Amino acid sequence: MSKLHIKKGDIVYVNTGEDKGKTGRVLKVLVEKQRAIVEGINMVTKHTKPNAKNPQGGREKQEASIHISNLNPLDPKSGKPTRIGRKLVVDKKKGDRLVRYAKKSGEELK
């Protein structure tokens, strides 16, 4: 399986679906399913039984996963959605490393 263009902590833009045009931070990446959970995106209502945390029970809003093909990372410079590339950075002190960069600005993504 190839590497994914999205990591936990990235700020992403939603390309399609109910939340099209919104941005949010990636909370979790489900690698096997190629899906991600994004803060405030794809909210669903989950019915819960009474428990120690919620003695009343009831309905809770929570984020559902969204397919990563519907997400684009934001360019650190312009704040607009961009595609991702990978390049090898040669560093004598730290050693060679593969970094993700924004295709629009060439800026490295952390």
* Closest by CA position to 84, among listed 98, 95, 96: 98
Indicate the pTM of the whole model.
0.84
The two structure tokens encoding residue 54: 């919620």
Specify the pLDDT at position 60: 92
Residues 39 and 62 sit within 8 Å (Cβ to Cβ): no
2-58 tens-digit pLDDT: 789 999 999 999 999 999 999 999 999 999 999 999 999 999 999 999 999 889 999
pLDDT for res 1: 59
